[in-house]
Structures are given as C-alpha cells and as structure tokens.
Structure 1
Amino acid sequence: MKLFVNNLTNVDFSYLHTERGLMGESWLLQLELDGALNEQGMVCDFGIVKRLARDWMDDTIDHALLVPALAPGVTITQSAGMTEVVWTYADGQILTCRSPSAAIVAVDAQEITEASLAAWCEARLISLFPSEVKGMSLHFVPEEIDGAFYHYSHGLHQHEGNCQRIAHGHRSRIEILVNGERDSELEALWAQRWKDIYIGTQSHRMESPEGTNSYAYKAPQGDFSLSLPSAYCYDIDTESTVEQIARHLAARIKQVRPLDTIEVRAYEGIGKGAISRG
C-alpha cells in the first residue's frame, strides 16, 4: 500500500552549483510512503507524516547552505562547532563560507540536484517513521513560474531565526507593474541582472582583495562570514529582507521612470513576498 502527500512543504536554501557557484533555491516536497496497514487501517497517520517530514526538513536543510561534498574543488573543515567551506569556481575564483555547523550541510554527492538531494534525504528520514513504513520515495519539485525569476542568496543579521544564516536563499519570481500593467521586459532585465546573485548589506562588508566581496557579522547563532567574487554580488544599504528588496527595486526603477507609477511584487521563495509602490 502506498500513501502520498503532494506539496507537503517547501524548502528554501542555497547550494554550491558545479558551474554557477552559490545559488538560492526553493523546492516543493512530494512524498510517498510504502508499507503495511496498521491496526487503524493506515500506513501512517497524515498528521505524523507531515510533522516528521516538515520538522526534519526545517532542522536539516531549510535555510542552510548545501555543499556537494564529493565535488572537485571543495574543502570542508570543522572545528569547535564551526564549519568552513572553501569552493573553487571553474575559472579559479574562490568562495569561502564560515558558519556555525548547523548552517552548512555536507551532502554526499558530486552535485546537488533534485534527485541527489532526495536520495540523501530518504536515507536519513525513513528511520524516523513507524515500523509499518517499509519504503519512501521523496521528490523535490521547482515551482512552475510563468515569467521572470531569479536565484538569490542572502543573510539577515538581525533575524532571530534561521534567516540569520549568511548563505541561504530562494528561487523567486518577480512582478513589476508600470502604470498598472505588467512590464515583462523590466522583469526579465532585473531577473537577468540578479541571476545567481548574492544580495549583501553594505554594513556587513569587510575589507577584501580587489574583485572579492567579504561579509561578516555576529548573530544569535554565532559568527558568520562569507567571501565570494564581486561579480556575483549586489549590495544594498539595508538588511536584505524581501520588504527592503521590493523597496529597493521600486526606488531604482522610479529613478529612471519618474513620471510613471511603479509597483514591485518581490517574492521570497514560493507564495510569499512583499509589495512596494513608487
């Protein structure tokens, strides 16, 4: 007997892509369980399924940086509750991230894909379920987006939860209205400008070599730092909350379209975001 739950939850995280570097991502979780019926005539109660899977995803990969530990050009070291990752881009440039260990997850794979991450999660998640559950099939699915979107990573210094982690991210649609009408060209322009971007906060910037942006801050979970090539960075003068991102975009567009009414709907992953009007 099989039990399934579609769109059980979604996870927002960043990962190191073998070609594109640091990427924010948002995936929906689909889950199937295979097993015998218990005395209640169930494979497993839906409430238990949802709680176990959501809690494990929240505690393990959501708002974390996922690293393909078997990929070439990656070094992972751990000491005193901290993890440091050094990643070499194809062109020889370097990314370094140092965070409390819970914020960086080493995945035993050569690359992070929907399939490789699902297999890694299945092997760890199934042991949490009742004995009637004999098998598990887990699938990650990107949101279907009809229009422009971009992958971004960031960290929120002042956030009390896991958003404070310096390298987590989202795959987000963008909607820009000019005088009440969607402007697909503007949406595509900003989606391309922010493709695979790290949105940094200027006050977090540290001195660094030319061509490199370095960020650091101390948050409730501990000390965080990140250095990566400047070409993949875009700094704003506030924290990079979705509200401030929407506000920043609306202000930038208003500068070049001063006579138009501008509305920006910025998304933070799937199904949530902020609206700013100029």
Structure 2
Amino acid sequence: MANKFKTISTVYVDLNKTIFSLGFFACAIITAILCLTTQGYSDHETNINYSVYEAILYLDWQTLSENGIANITIISSGLSGYCTMFMPIIAALPFVTAFCNERNTGSIRLNIARTGKLRYYIGKFVSAIISAGLAVTLGCAVFAVIVYPIFPTIEDCKELSHSFFIEDNFSMATELWHFFSGAFIYGAVSVLPAFFMSSFVKNHYIITCVPFMLAYIQKVALNKISQAHMTDEPTEGLSIFEKCSAFYPENITQWYSKNTYVPLMLKYNGICTAAALIGFIVIMNLRRDKGE
C-alpha cells in the first residue's frame, strides 16, 4: 500500500512540474492558433478557400448559415491541416520543457535515488502522456469557445437540414465529447516519439524536431501507398488503402468511429505506447549517468 501511494505521489509531483511549465501553456496556445488556420469555408464560385479566422473576419453569418457552415462542423475539423503537421512538436513541449529543466539542473540522479528507478520512469511516462493530452485538449477547448458563439448552429444551417447531423440521436454533447477525447488521445500519442528519444538524446531541439521529420516521412509514404492502391478491387478483410488509414497519426481522433480500420489503428497505437515505455526504461537503465 505504501509503494502504491508513493507511485501516485511521484506521478502527481511530475504532473505538477509538467502542467505548470511554460511548455504546457505554449502547447495549448499554439494548438488553438493552429486550429484557427484550418479550412473553414470554400467558395466554389470564386475558388477561394477561407480559414476559420478568415471566415470569422470576412464572412457574414447569413453566408455561413446558407452554406451549411455550422459551429460543430468547424469544431470537429479543428485538428487538421497545420495541426497534424506540427503536432509531434507542440505535443512534446510540456514534457520536454520540464524534463530538460530537470536534466539541466542535475537533479535526475537525486530524484531517481529518492523515488526508485522504475517508479521514476513510470512517473515520467504518465506525466508525459497526460500533460500532452491535456495541453492539446485545452487548446482545442479555447478554439471551441471562440468558434461556438460566432458560427451558426446546425439548426440555422439550411444545407444541413437533411444531413446526418440532424438525426434523432444527434447530441451536441456527444460530438464535443468525441472531439475532446480524440484531441486528448492524439496529444498523448504524439508525445511518444519525443518521450522515447529523451532517454538517449539531451538536445531538446533534436528531441522535438526529429519526431516531426519522422511523422512527415511517414505521411508521405502512406500517401503514396494509398494513392497506388486506391482503385484496388474489394477483397476479404482490410484493403491496403484501409490498412494505410490505420497508420495515419491524426486518425486516432476517430477512435470512436465505425471505420473498418479502427481496430487495427488501436492495436498499432497500443503497441507504439508500450514500445515507447519499454524502450525508455531499458535505455535509462543502461545509462550509467542516470540520464544526466
């Protein structure tokens, strides 16, 4: 029982350090700003695309309602565009900021001796994924607070009057739960590469930038494979196109959907999570300097 409370106490202390760091609030603010840069409206007559903040500045309420641009549709699509591109960097800011500060002050060895190796590593892992998830969710919440009162509701949008949004089982609360829970999971998963790299890399610029480059390479490769197999004949089980969808990092926000690739996607992300934790523990145990 004492060990259990000591583990909880270690996680609590690490989480406080991470949440009340500059990186946490930077992550939330950047997430909110990037959500505002996602596409909000496309004018097919003039072939002009408006981002969310441009739609707020230049389009009137009537134009938005007549074209079916509802607040919930804007909110639900917030985590796209530049958000998905830079998520590996911004999700890592809370953990990397706190961990590098601890490393620079030389207190890692003392903290490990005080809490124990395994407890210290698990505490860092839990605080990393929770702080990243919370920071991204907070940024999305700020985005939702800005968008919700400005854009029309679904009931105000004529274009959506007969769409799947206006169903008997539609619930605004459910849609928001899906969005925020997806944002939390997306942020938590996105910090894993930086968390793993921090076990053997000291430079915080490398820790944040390398995952960004790897994610970009992954998306380019998946796009090429998907395009090559987009017109394949239907087969039993998942097609190559569907399998590729399971490996896009941003698709984890659709964890609740009934898409055929969701089970594979959840397995893949679960394996990545376990691999990041195990790899971090193994490498930190092999280091004689205890990570300093």
Q: TM-score scaled to structure 1, two decimals?
A: 0.28
Q: TM-score scaled to structure 2, two decimals?
A: 0.27
Greater relative contact order (CA < 8 Å, ≥ 6 in sequence): 2
* Greater C-alpha Rg: 2
Greater fraction helix: 2
Greater fraction strand: 1
